[in-house]
Amino acid sequence: MNLTRNWIYWISQFSGWTLFVLLNIIISSTFEEFKSEFIYSWIFLGIAGLALSHLHRNFIRKRGWKNLSLRLIVPRILIASLILGSILFIFVFLFNVGFKIVPIEQYQIGGVIARLVNLSSLFLFWSVIYFAVHYLENYKKAEIESLIFEAAVKDFELKTLKAQLNPHFIFNAMNSIRALIEEDPESAKEAVTKLSNLMRYTLKIERSETVPLAEEIRTIKDYLDLEKIRFEERLNYTIDSTAEAERVEIPPMMIQTLVENGIKHGISKSTSGGKINIDCKIDTGKLKITIINTGTFNEEQLKNSKGFGVSNTIQRLNLLYGEEAFFIIKNINHNQVITEVRIPVGGIKHESFNY
């Protein structure tokens, strides 16, 4: 990469100074009496200008001017341009007088000042281009680094959110099995099998950003069967999903987290228990997941809770789908809560969304 940048720099240097010399030769030969010796003078000016600008570039890099603020760079550029313009004028003056291209008598004070201003302006123009190129290059580099950092942060957040879900899930499942061990060993064995399925699933999702809905539904059934053993007749559930919907990829543990939330904050708080209904289908090009459970939802829980399942779901949808995702949770009818999630069938967007 450095080799390529050096080539671009030298090509730009030679091209710029060559173009400057050619334009001045053409202008001089058009509007005033022109001598062939002037060509040598302009060529010398171009070579000297290229050498001085290159030395100026090395000086800028050595002194770290590119890292300075604009307030500090501007006066340095102005002073450097004046010094370089004066040096280049002296070189050209000595060359012209030494080779008798221009008689010394023609160097009047007004003309000298004009030439100094022109040559200083030339180096000022060179400096502006040089710093502008580096500014754009650094801006682009910073933008790329920002995008890489943002992607890394989002990846970390997604993994963190998964890590928050798994221990909570396992804790509830273990409680269900513990209640069965002494009362019903056979049911306890079945529960262990279901838990092993769930554990296998949680190990799998550590390496997956999404999973087919069908796998999530199987996990939910195992989870609800374990919870049903704990709650007995106080918990009933139904799951309806279409074959088309079950092929859609979704964030792992997303529905299970909302189901767990409905049981923890709704059904478990009711002495008579309750019911949870899950419906998954494709609606207008999006996967629509509807969960209705017994209980009531307090909006302050969403704003103030820590580790609340709804908050985790909103963050994950935000990170994965952005504005393409839809989420709502509210109370309906009497003592019922509806949670609705809609995500695009096409895949992940990684933007921000409103709910």
Sign of CA dihedral 326, 329, 331, 337: positive
Higher pLDDT, 134 or 220: 220
Alpha-carbon gap, residue 80 to 293, rounded angstroms: 75
The confidence band for 83, taking pLDDT boundaries of 50, 70 and 90, is: very high
| pLDDT over threshold 80, residue 1 | no
d(CA 201, CA 198): 5
Structure tokens at 316: 């994950």
β-strand 336-344 against 326-332: which pairing, if any? antiparallel
Q: Give dist(CA 40, CA 108) in Å, integer.
A: 22
Between 141 and 349, where is the model more confident?
141
| Distance of alpha carbon 319 from alpha carbon 251, whole angstroms | 11
The enclosing H or E element of 237 equals strand 235-241
Instruction: Write the pLDDT tens digit of every residue in 230-257.
Output: 788 899 999 999 999 999 998 888 888 8
Sequence ranges of the domains in the chain: 2-107, 155-344
3-state secondary structure of 210: coil
In this prediction, residue 205 carries a pLDDT of 72
Class of domain 155-344: alpha beta
Cα dihedral sign, 44-50-51-56: positive
- Write down the pLDDT at residue 354: 44
- Average the pLDDT over 109-129 and give the result: 91
Residue at token pair 């279901």:
194
pTM greater than 0.85 (yes/no): no
pLDDT at residue number 307: 44
Q: Burial letters for 272-288: b for 16+ Cβ neighbours within 10 Å, e otherwise?
A: ebbebbbbbeeeeebbb
